Amino acid sequence: MIAHLRGRLFSKQPGQAIVEAGGVGYDVTISVPTFTALPAEGAEVSLFIHTQVREDILALFGFLDRREKRLFERLITVSGVGPKLAVTILSGLNAERTVAAIRAQDHATLTRIPGVGKKLAERLVVELKDKLDDMATTAPAVLAAGPAADDVLSALVNLGYQRPAAQKAIETAVGKNKAAGENFDELFRAALQVIR
């Protein structure tokens, strides 16, 4: 069972990364948040891995963030959610927003994800809302920062900043000016000043 993989990032594209370790290239399925946070091709990368073994398949699912892997593993316990759909869910909403939507019983947000209909959204809420308490503490800070916070966080991560540093910069910027959380441009500029 492969639980962790460290090596050279041979190639990456949305949904897939090939990591070369010990002369072997491992094909790893990844979410969009993991893809955007990956370093440049050729750099060393370290991924937490969930290995799916069936009689006809051996598939690796990789995550830069241990919390995202834990959420993925909880999602696949829900009937009707396989590993590919779990990756789609984590690509449609990042881990923080997925946890927040499930805990808030926000079916409308969940059904915006491709492949998640009304019944599956209800099943996700019913089966997981009480199983995500240990993950809830990671979410509210950025979500409470205002509607623009999530987009600014994504933009900062895309620019190469580490997610925890970006989150802290957003929180600091909103702490100085609460109204900044309402406007993407204003919050983005304020967060950049903090993070530099």
Q: In what helix (H) or strand (E) does residue 45 lie, and over which residues does it extend? A: strand 44-54
For 134-192, the pLDDT digits (tens) are 775 444 444 455 667 878 888 888 788 877 788 888 888 888 887 777 788 888 888 88
Angle between helices 95-103 and 118-128 (to 10 degrees): 90
Band of residue 27 on the pLDDT scale cut at 50, 70, 90: very high
What is the structure's pLDDT at 136?
A: 57
Angle formed by the axes of helices 184-195 and 149-158, nearest 10°: 50
Which stretches within 93-159 are classed as H helix?
A: 95-103, 107-111, 118-128, 133-136, 140-143, 149-158
For the segment 49-64, what is each residue's pLDDT rounded down to a tens digit? 999 998 888 999 999 9
Number of Cβ within a 10 Å radius of residue 56:
4
User: What pLDDT score does 142 carry?
Assistant: 47
Q: Find the Cα–Cα–Cα–Cα dihedral 42, 48, 53, 56, rounded to 10°.
A: -30
Cβ atoms 116, 110 nearer than 8 A: yes
pLDDT for the residue numbered 138: 42
Helix (H) / strand (E) element for 186: namely: helix 184-195
Q: What is the mean pLDDT of residues 66-84?
A: 92
Beta strand pairing call for 24-30 and 16-21: antiparallel
Which residue bears the tokens 């209909």? 117
